[in-house]
Amino acid sequence: MRRRRYRPPMPPAQRARLLCLLAAVCLVALFLVGLFHLKAILGDMAVTRVSNSVNRLVNEAVYDAIDSGDIQYDELITLQKDASGNIAALQSNMAAFNRLQADISGDVLDRLGQVSDTELAIPLGTLTGSALLAGRGPKFRVRMQSIGSCTAHFENAFDHAGINQTTHSILLYVDVSVTILLPGFSTFTKVSNAFSVAETVIVGAVPDTYTYFDSGNDVAEDAYEYSINNG
């Protein structure tokens, strides 16, 4: 009959070291898993937070300009009539468009600079990637910084408004590009908004000519005379 070899019990000190080693391995594994999810989660949260903030700031800047009376159709467009009293041409005030373009871009950048530093809070359970632990546990806080640039430009739009009527709208496009700096990496987002800032209804035939503009690069450079044939 074979005898069992006697194994003395593990000394308490050795058992404690083994438990500490296992705990360290588990902590390192959790850290690596959390680090794997951290970058993607931080990037998504940062883009969402910045996009929402930029949309709000752009809307506030444009609506403030409209409410203050800075954007008025009569100051931007001059209606020229013929001898019969019909509207024969529309003439754009390019200096006013340039000024508004610069003012709105500067206002958006000033507002963006006031909220460039933001803190993100992520529950530690979310970093594990487990649906059961998502949103649970103490929050891991990270500071982010956003650096943005803004461009604004105007465009014309003509739409039929009814029998012998045409709506002339002035559209403002605001594009904000933001680089978001986070611990160890950075991400990028672009937020675009379009507004109809002024319009009028032209009764009668469409004017023979109007100053067409698309101020995407430079209002003064892009302006040129564009003829419309009444057919």
DSSP-assigned beta bridge partners for residue 176: 150, 191
How many domains are there within the chain? 1
**Tokens representing 160?**
């039929």
Residue 36 domain-assigned (yes or no) = no
Which percentage of the chain shows pLDDT scores above 90? 12
Each residue's pLDDT tens digit, 96-151: 888 888 999 999 998 888 777 777 777 767 666 666 666 677 777 888 888 888 99
What is the mean predicted confidence (pLDDT) over 163-192? 87
Residue with tokens 């461009």: 151
**pLDDT for 73:** 84
Q: Flag whether pLDDT at 198 surpasses 50.
A: yes
Burial 88-127 (b: 16+ CB within 10 A, else e): bbbebebebbeebbeebbebbeebbeeebeeebebeebbb
Residue 47 domain-assigned (yes or no) = no
**pLDDT for 133:** 65
Residue 138 domain-assigned (yes or no) = no
Residue 38 domain-assigned (yes or no) = no
Residue 160 domain-assigned (yes or no) = yes
**pLDDT for 146:** 86
What is the mean predicted confidence (pLDDT) over 153-179? 85
Residue 132 domain-assigned (yes or no) = no
**pLDDT for 158:** 80
Give whole-number Cα distances, 162 to 84, 201, 207, in Å. Answer: 22, 10, 16
Listed as own residue / partner, the contacts of 82-89 with beta carbons closer than 8 Å and 24 or more positions apart are 86/204, 86/205, 87/202, 87/204, 87/207, 88/207, 88/208, 88/209, 89/207, 89/208, 89/209, 89/210
**Tokens representing 55?**
């949309």
**CA angle, residues 141, 113, 142, in degrees to nearest 5:** 10
Residue 137 domain-assigned (yes or no) = no
Q: Which range among 25-34, 62-71, 72-81, 118-127 shows the weakest confidence by mean pLDDT?
A: 25-34
Residue 93 domain-assigned (yes or no) = yes
CB 210 within 8 A of CB 204: no
Sheet bearing 224-227, strands edge to edge = 77-81, 87-92, 209-212, 224-227
Where in the sequence is the domain holding 185, given as residue range(s)? 55-120+144-227
- More confident site: 21 or 59: 59
